Amino acid sequence: MKVSLAALILAVGAVTVAGGPESPSRATPAAAGQASEPPVVCGFRNPGYTGLCEEKTPYVKGKELKDLCKPILDCLNNPQCIKTYCGSTTIRQGWALESAKRAKQP
C-alpha cells in the first residue's frame, strides 16, 4: 500500500497533537482518579523573572503541599531539566518556593 508523504505528515501531526507529551500542568493517569480534587497551585519567585510564576500540580492526599511543589522547584533550579514552566523560561537557578495552596473549586 502506497501512502503519500502529505498523508503521512498529516497523520503524524494529528497523533502529536492528540497524544503529545504531557504538559507539566496536565493531570497524569495516576491522578485521574483524583480529578474531583482541586490541584495545588505552587508560586515561585526569581530575581531574574518578572512577577510570580504559578504552576499547578495534582493534589495527593496526605502529602504536604510544599512537597508536591518540590519537583517543579527542583526542575526550575536544574539546568539539565527540559520541562517547561513559568512561560517556558530558560532561567534555571535562583528559584524559591513562595507559596503552595489548593486551587479553589470551580
* C-alpha cell of residue 66: 510544599
Residue 96 has pLDDT above 60, yes or no: yes
- Is residue 8 assigned to a domain? no
- Is residue 34 assigned to a domain? yes
Number of domains in the chain: 1
- Is residue 54 assigned to a domain? yes
Domain containing residue 33: 24-102
pTM (global) more than 0.85: no
- Is residue 12 assigned to a domain? no
For the stretch 34-93, pLDDT in tens is 457 899 999 999 999 999 999 999 999 999 999 999 999 999 999 999 999 999 999 999
